[in-house]
Chain A
């Protein structure tokens, strides 16, 4: 028996595949900015928004709360990182701690705090419905269209921000568009995956791809294919061996990145 024989597993797999491959490509821009953990901090802030929304009973507004917190958090990160006396990583850690601590504190006052905490941090991919699949499909389409139109513009801003700005690219505008887009992707993914798997998709395929790919096109293809293959393997093995699916896929993604690094060590 395969996991595809079960309807709820098929639903979870479709959502995971669509959102995971989208995140893996979006994550290239986090992984190449030397502050990969900003994705983790942003994910945690999205989770905090979800927690606040749920605890306040704003179920429809929870996503908006998450989105707003991620945008605010990434803007705050850009501002705080300007300090020459501290590293950007310190502020990433600060925002992560803030998001995680506040999430736990708020959940501690919730009647179902412990179970909700597990959902926030590790997600519950097997409890998804068709709405989440459609949301993930929407994310996939927006990601594909956005990157098809503007991928090179964002690459230039990440490769040589001053040069791009001098040549007329409005860095503030385009970075702002990316932040809004990233926030939307994280908000949706946190809802589907929880923090751990969202961050895993965001950083690990990109990390392995940057190690192994020799061309930009190959890098994009690697991110999409590797996250799809690992998702499929993860679903199948976690189903067969009775492990929680989200953490299992996260572990496989991490293993892929480590194997990628080991394979580049010259004999």
Chain B
């Protein structure tokens, strides 16, 4: 697979000291990558560097050419003051990128298909601020789908969702990876990328540690990073690792 992005000894951040030091990573097209770590550990910083919104303080970041990115924000990051319906939100990028905001037939088809695939077609005329958190997050994913990107970046997509909404949403995210797209999934909890991602980036004390899900299940590795013992559970093909007392 061609390289999507390569970090070479990159220091990333907003000034001195950097948030992340000496990042060495190569992400290939089509990979499914989970970014895991506590709040403030640098997940968003790396994401911004992947997006090209943040340049390295030192070192190099090389991007493969011609990839289209779509960002799926956290539900509470969206500005709900605007009276936008679910359909408005899904169509917004296409309208925004065209002079005069007029949609083409293809734009409408893409938006309709994205809403069906994300399970929000039946609520498309409801205001975004009046639907549930899970539906709002699905709408954000539908907006990303409608842009037909090569790379999806999902920032804490399950934050604030109840367990059923989380399950349904994760099934939708899994479908993105299976379609051969590159997926970056930011999460503060381990079990979500553990079950969805082929590679997991653990953020710890200003460094990024690249692991496979199998390595994550190696409890000694987690204990080294987090300093507390973990246990591993598996049921019906779903895996969890949780810290113990």
- Spell out A's residues near B (CB within 8 Å): 31-34, 148-153, 155-156, 158-160, 162-169, 210, 213-216, 218-219
* Distance A150 CA – B98 CA, assembled complex (angstroms): 8
Chain B: CB-nearest residue to A174: B96
Q: Give the Cβ gap from B104 to chain A, nearest Cβ, in Å.
A: 14
Determine the chain B residues whose CB is within 8 A of the CB of A219 once the complex forms: 82-83
Please tell me if the beta carbons of B69 and A167 are within 8 angstroms of each other in the complex: yes
Determine the chain A residues whose CB is within 8 A of the CB of B113 once the complex forms: none
* B70 interfacial contact with A, CB 8 Å: yes
* Distance A151 CA – B93 CA, assembled complex (angstroms): 12
* Distance A162 CA – B143 CA, assembled complex (angstroms): 13
Q: Which of B83, B95, B96, B101 contacts A210 (CB 8 A)?
A: B83
Determine the chain B residues whose CB is within 8 A of the CB of A168 once the complex forms: 97
* Distance A247 CA – B143 CA, assembled complex (angstroms): 44
* B73 interfacial contact with A, CB 8 Å: yes
* B127 interfacial contact with A, CB 8 Å: yes
Q: Give the Cβ gap from A159 to chain B, nearest Cβ, in Å.
A: 5
Q: In the complex where A32-B81, A210-B81 touch, is A165 in contact with B95 (Cβ < 8 A)?
A: no
Please tell me if the beta carbons of A148 and B83 are within 8 angstroms of each other in the complex: no
Closest 8 CB pairs of A and B: A152-B101, A166-B71, A156-B96, A152-B95, A153-B96, A32-B81, A152-B96, A163-B71
* B77 interfacial contact with A, CB 8 Å: yes
Q: Which of B53, B78, B83 contacts A165 (CB 8 A)?
A: B53
Please tell me if the beta carbons of A155 and B127 are within 8 angstroms of each other in the complex: no
Q: In the complex where A164-B96, A216-B88 touch, is A159 in contact with B79 (Cβ < 8 A)?
A: yes
Chain B: CB-nearest residue to A148: B100
* B85 interfacial contact with A, CB 8 Å: yes
Q: Give the Cβ gap from A78 to chain B, nearest Cβ, in Å.
A: 15
- Beyond contacts A164-B93, A165-B53: 9 other A-B pairs, Cβ-Cβ < 8 A, are A33-B79, A150-B99, A152-B95, A156-B93, A156-B96, A159-B82, A166-B51, A166-B153, A167-B147
* B242 interfacial contact with A, CB 8 Å: no
Please tell me if the beta carbons of B82 and A31 are within 8 angstroms of each other in the complex: no
List B47-68 residues whose CB lies under 8 Å from chain A.
Answer: 51, 53, 68
Q: Give the Cβ gap from A169 to chain B, nearest Cβ, in Å.
A: 7
Chain A: CB-nearest residue to B149: A167
Please tell me if the beta carbons of A162 and B96 are within 8 angstroms of each other in the complex: no
* B121 interfacial contact with A, CB 8 Å: no
Determine the chain A residues whose CB is within 8 A of the CB of B209 once the complex forms: none
Please tell me if the beta carbons of A216 and B70 are within 8 angstroms of each other in the complex: no
Q: Give the Cβ gap from A222 to chain B, nearest Cβ, in Å.
A: 10
Q: Give the Cβ gap from A267 to chain B, nearest Cβ, in Å.
A: 18
Query: Which of A148, A166, A219 lies at the interface centre, i.e. has the most chain B CB atoms within 10 A of its CB?
Result: A166
Please tell me if the beta carbons of A162 and B82 are within 8 angstroms of each other in the complex: no
Chain A: CB-nearest residue to B89: A159
Please tell me if the beta carbons of A216 and B81 are within 8 angstroms of each other in the complex: no
* Distance A154 CA – B101 CA, assembled complex (angstroms): 11
* B84 interfacial contact with A, CB 8 Å: yes
* B92 interfacial contact with A, CB 8 Å: yes
Q: Which of B85, B127, B143 contacts A163 (CB 8 A)?
A: B143
Q: Which of B51, B72, B83, B93 contacts A213 (CB 8 A)?
A: B83
Determine the chain A residues whose CB is within 8 A of the CB of B97 once the complex forms: 153, 167-169
Chain A: CB-nearest residue to B78: A160
Query: Which of B78, B92, B143, B153 lies at the interface centre, i.e. has the most chain A CB atoms within 10 A of its CB?
Result: B92
Query: Which of A150, A216, A219 lies at the interface centre, i.e. has the most chain B CB atoms within 10 A of its CB?
Result: A216
Chain A: CB-nearest residue to B50: A166
Please tell me if the beta carbons of B77 and A160 are within 8 angstroms of each other in the complex: yes
* Distance A163 CA – B154 CA, assembled complex (angstroms): 11
* Distance A150 CA – B96 CA, assembled complex (angstroms): 7
* Distance A158 CA – B149 CA, assembled complex (angstroms): 22
Please tell me if the beta carbons of A166 and B53 are within 8 angstroms of each other in the complex: yes
Determine the chain A residues whose CB is within 8 A of the CB of B53 once the complex forms: 162, 165-166
Q: Give the Cβ gap from B158 to chain A, nearest Cβ, in Å.
A: 18
* Distance A152 CA – B95 CA, assembled complex (angstroms): 6
Determine the chain A residues whose CB is within 8 A of the CB of B143 once the complex forms: 163
Q: Which of B70, B81, B89, B147 contacts A31 (CB 8 A)?
A: B81
Please tell me if the beta carbons of A162 and B79 are within 8 angstroms of each other in the complex: no
